[in-house]
Chains A and B, each alone.
Chain A
Amino acid sequence: NAGVTQTPKFQVLKTGQSMTLQCAQDMNHEYMSWYRQDPGMGLRLIHYSVGAGITDQGEVPNGYNVSRSTTEDFPLRLLSAAPSQTSVYFCASSGTKRSAKNIQYFGAGTRLSVL
């Protein structure tokens, strides 16, 4: 029962570096999303996808790119890391025909520090 798998769990970057946060789900979910969680700010949606080949911006998309080439994978790319992107990142997935819509299942998170 892997569910939603995120890698890495921890990452330290220098300002200006780029990296990709990986997210994979094995539940055949059509909907996937990326959130960041900061103290006092709650979960904020970065990007989401309603299916392979379809992505859209969330509430805080600047500085991040996503792609969805397969149903299973939804990587998040930081183009040029900034200290303001220090956060905990969660990937989530939801939605199959046999399950209630909108219940989201989360990965364990990636703790990112940008120095």
Chain B
Amino acid sequence: RKEVEQDPGPFNVPEGATVAFNCTYSNSASQSFFWYRQDCRKEPKLLMSVYSSGNEDGRFTAQLNRASQYISLLIRDSKLSDSATYLCVVNAGNNRKLIWGLGTSLAVNP
């Protein structure tokens, strides 16, 4: 099993749609969880951290399920500008090393 696994997509959705991505991780000792966004030929940028109780930032909601070892990202009311690759990131146990998923590609269509 890969350490961090994501569905690569692509997800093609119309503007205004709600779309959800899941990411599974294998290290039960992981403590930090993040979603990053990467635009084509650009650097990854933090979208949001994922907290145990779940957290929301505008149209974006992140959830963590420790029992099943997965995190999720929900995007409501998709915009054209949401088109990007979304990277799931988990720390490697009790240290600062981060394990990166391969990313899920999202295309929001007019």
Query: Quick one: closest B residue to A31, CB to CB?
Result: B96
Please state if A108 and B102 are interface contacts (CB–CB under 8 Å): no
Judge if B34 is at the interface, Cβ distance under 8 Å: yes
Chain A contact residues: over half helix, strand or loop, or mixed?
loop
Distance, CA A89 to CA B101, complexed state (A): 17
Give the contact-size bracket for chain B: 10 to 19
B57 at the interface (CB under 8 A from A): no
Q: How large is the interface on A (under 10, 10 to 19, 20 to 34, 35 or more residues)?
A: 20 to 34
Closest to A109 in B: B43
Within 34-61 of A, Cβ neighbours of B (below 8 Å) are at: 40-43, 45, 48, 50, 58
Query: What is the interface of chain A, defined by CB distance below 8 A to chain B?
Result: 31, 40-43, 45, 48, 50, 58, 90, 94-95, 100-109
Q: Which B residues are within 8 Å of any A CB, using their own CB?
A: 32, 34, 42-46, 49, 87, 91, 96-98, 100-103
